[in-house]
Amino acid sequence: MRLSSLLGFFLPVSLASMLSVNLPSLCQEQASGSPASKGIGLLEAVRSTLELHPLLHLQEKQVEISRALRQQAGGDFDTQLQWSAGHSRTNLPLIDSERLSALQAGIDTYNQAANLTTLSGSAQRLLRSGIVIGPRIDMNRTTDNVQSRDGVNLTRLSFEVNIPLWRGKGREVVTARETSAQLDVDASLYDLNETIAELILSTATSYWQYVSSVKQLEILTGSEARGKEFVESVQALINADKLPRNEINQVQANFAGRSAARISLEQQVAAARHNLTLAMGMSASQLMDLPMPSDSFPDGEREIPPSISSDSIRSHIEQALRLRADFLAAEKKKEAANLLRKTSRNSLLPRLDLTLSTGYAGLQEGRRPDELLISPFTNTHGPDILFGLRYSFPLANNLAHGQVAEAEASYQQTVLLSAEKARNIGSSVASTLMAVYNGIHQLKLAREAVTGFQAALEGEKDKLRLGVGSLTDLLTVESRLTDALLALVYAQESYAIKLVQYRFASGTLIAPDKAVQSVDRELFFSPQPKGPSTQ
């Protein structure tokens, strides 16, 4: 029996509400990205990530480690202070002639008891040219019971210079470890900012998935409510003997399917909330404290699609290679490896050093402690001058050859890694730019589909009122409109995620070289705002 025959009496009272039910507000919404007054916004989620996420703090510690290693490398050029003191006593037996000489001097002894007290100190510093300079002092007091009964205090003050002529010569060679460590510091800062960008990408993706699941749940909850009204209205017609009883099966099955879909979406919302909580760096115990999202999807339908010409894509790739922190980190590591590669060849050379020393000696007799201390200033005569050459070279030199081979391989490895990074970045930029382009067109088509099914549903309502439609056709069109609404939400979610993926791929999400980041909200809502802001 056709439903049209019942419209004259029952339709105004039992199906009127069903046919006049407003569609979810989502289908009329023009997603503008404007924040609501309640709930959690995207920037709030990002701030939580940057404050709480353990991976970010882990990478911050890596920056601290690299700075500590840089400080250690600079220790090669610290002034090295050395002090030593010692005392020795030796007893040497005297031969007969020596004992006779001692007796003639009035000394009756069978051995010579000698005491030697030494004090020495130096301050050496390696200059970044490879030259080693520094003063030195050596103080000696000698006493014995035969020859130096009164004690002899001898002090020598000198200034020593060691000049490398082959190996270890030149600023680039000497400071290679220090410079490499500084490059590693720069690379670790880039790695930190790359981690920040990755965490922001993850948080934004999870946020939009949360928004999408909530909006889809709103659609299916409304669909379930309308399905329930269908059941109640048809049951009322059956109870009035205006419809066959088997008509209830169709609407009950329709209602059951909508309820099952709604329950599935509730689980999806819970999973999306959980994922966002983790992305924000919050603990599992804070899961239920996360409020509903307040930001709507970016309004891609109003955006002008970006150019996807070869020149445009090439320009975006070149920009990404200037801004991507991971690529800049790879370049810094390559620079550091190249420096060590070039300077390692210096170790193949023989060691030939020119040593220079100048100073003077002072002498003071006496056993009192102060006579040792004043010895540098008594009985001094003219400066001493010493110079010489020192040569050393291992015949096989396996250590140096192995170090050169290792440095060369490490450098080639960084070259390959940098090239692979550039290749992946280029591919990612091209694909995400194309995805944004297609996402804008997909949004417009999804909106057209919703508009079309809205009109079709109104047509089915009119046909029912005119008595030429059927309940099956109405349910079918209403179900397809629900599917179109869900497809629109999916298109909005997909576009929002593609947009932040493009921002990440192009390096415009954050500044790559800043220790403190300030993220612009518009970066998440338009493909063509200003680049990342910093403070």
Query: Nearest to residue 502, comparing CAs of 424, 423, 443, 435?
Result: 435
Q: Confidence band (pLDDT; 50, 70, 90) for 19?
A: very low
- pLDDT of 12 reads 35
Strand partners, 111: 93
339 closest CA partner among 191, 179, 184: 179
Most confident of 17-31, 93-107, 433-447: 433-447
Contact 73, 181 (CB under 8 A): yes
Those residues whose C-beta lies under 8 Å from the C-beta of residue 232, and which sit 6 or more positions away, are: none
Cα 374 to Cα 137, 360, 470, distances in angstroms: 13, 14, 121
Residue 530 pLDDT: 55
Residue-wise pLDDT for 162-204, tens only, equals 999 999 999 999 999 999 999 999 999 999 999 999 999 999 9
- Sign, CA torsion 508/512/514/516: positive
Quote the pLDDT of residue 29: 45
Q: Check whether 2 has a pLDDT greater than 60.
A: no
Distance CA 275, CA 290 (A): 11
Asked which of 4-13, 267-276, 455-464 is least confident by mean pLDDT, the reply is: 4-13
Rg of the chain over all Cα atoms, to the nearest angstrom: 43
pLDDT tens digits, one per residue of 359-395: 999 888 888 888 888 888 888 887 889 999 999 988 8
Q: What is the pLDDT of residue 248?
A: 86
Instruction: Write the CB contacts of 105 (distance below 8 Å, at least 6 apart in sequence).
Output: 146
Answer whether 203's CB lies under 8 Å from 522's CB: no
Tokens 């970066």 label which residue?
Answer: 523
Amino acid letter, residue 329 = A
Q: Identify any residues that bridge with 293 across adjacent strands, giving them in sequence order.
A: 40
Q: Which of 28, 23, 30, 25 is nearest to 297 (CA)?
A: 30
Average pLDDT (256-274) is 92
- Give the DSSP H or E segment for 501: helix 471-506
Distances (CA, A) of 132 to 13, 335, 358, 431: 103, 28, 14, 57
CA 150 to mean position of chain CA atoms = 72
Q: Which of 182-186, 196-200, 240-244, 523-527 has the lowest mean pLDDT?
A: 240-244
Q: Which residue has the higher pLDDT, 371 or 139?
A: 139
Query: Token digits for 157?
Result: 């003050």
Degrees, nearest 5: CA angle 435-441-447: 130
Q: Is the pLDDT of residue 21 over 70?
A: no
The answer to whether residue 504 scores a pLDDT higher than 50 is yes
**Size of the chain, expressed as the number of residues it contains:** 535
Taking CA atoms, 196 is separated from 55, 269, 495, in Å, by 9, 26, 22
At 81-137, the pLDDT tens digits run: 999 999 999 988 888 787 888 788 778 788 888 999 999 999 999 999 999 999 999
For residues 354 and 170, the answer to whether their CB atoms sit within 8 Å is no
Indicate the angle between helix axes 398-466 and 325-344, nearest 10 degrees.
170
Q: What is the pLDDT of residues 151-162, one digit of tens each?
A: 899 999 999 999
Look up the pTM and report it: 0.81
**Domains along the chain with CATH numbers:** 3-25+39-67+179-337+410-534 (1.20.1600.10), 83-171+352-397 (no CATH)
> So what's the pLDDT on residue 28?
44
Which H or E run contains 148? none
Q: Which region among 98-107, 144-153, 223-232, 332-341 has the lowest average model confidence (pLDDT)?
A: 98-107
Q: Confidence band (pLDDT; 50, 70, 90) for 529?
A: low
| Nearest one of 213, 221, 206 to 268, comparing CA atoms | 213
What integer pLDDT is reported at residue 211 of this predicted model?
96
Helix/strand/coil (H, E, C) string of 25-72? HHHHCCCCCCCCCCCECHHHHHHHHHHHCHHHHHHHHHHHHHHHHHHH
Q: What percent of the chain has pLDDT over 70?
A: 92
| 16 pLDDT above the threshold of 60 | no
CB 194 within 8 A of CB 219: no
User: Residue 26's pLDDT band (boundaries 50, 70, 90)?
Assistant: very low
SS3 helix, strand, coil % of the chain, rounded to 5?
A: 60, 15, 25
For residue 103, the model assigns a pLDDT of 82
Q: Of 250 and 485, which is predicted with more confidence?
A: 485
Q: Is residue 232 predicted with pLDDT exceeding 60?
A: yes
Rounded to whole angstroms, how far apart are CA atoms 34 and 169? Answer: 64
Residue 322 has pLDDT above 60, yes or no: yes
Classify 79 as helix, strand or coil: coil
- Alpha carbon of residue 120 to chain centroid: 50
Q: Helix (H, G, I), strand (E, B), or coil: what is residue 243? A: coil
Tell how many helices (H) and how many strands (E) occur in the chain.
13, 8
**Residue 497 pLDDT class (50, 70, 90 cuts):** very high
CA distance 417 to 412: 9
Q: pLDDT value at position 230? A: 81
Q: What is the pLDDT of residue 532?
A: 53
β-sheet bridge partners, residue 164: 353
Q: Cα–Cα distance between 168 and 435 in angstroms, integer?
A: 55
For the segment 43-61, what is each residue's pLDDT rounded down to a tens digit?
999 999 999 999 999 999 9
Average pLDDT over residues 9-25: 39
CA dihedral (196, 201, 202, 204) positive or negative: positive
pLDDT, residue 279, reads 93
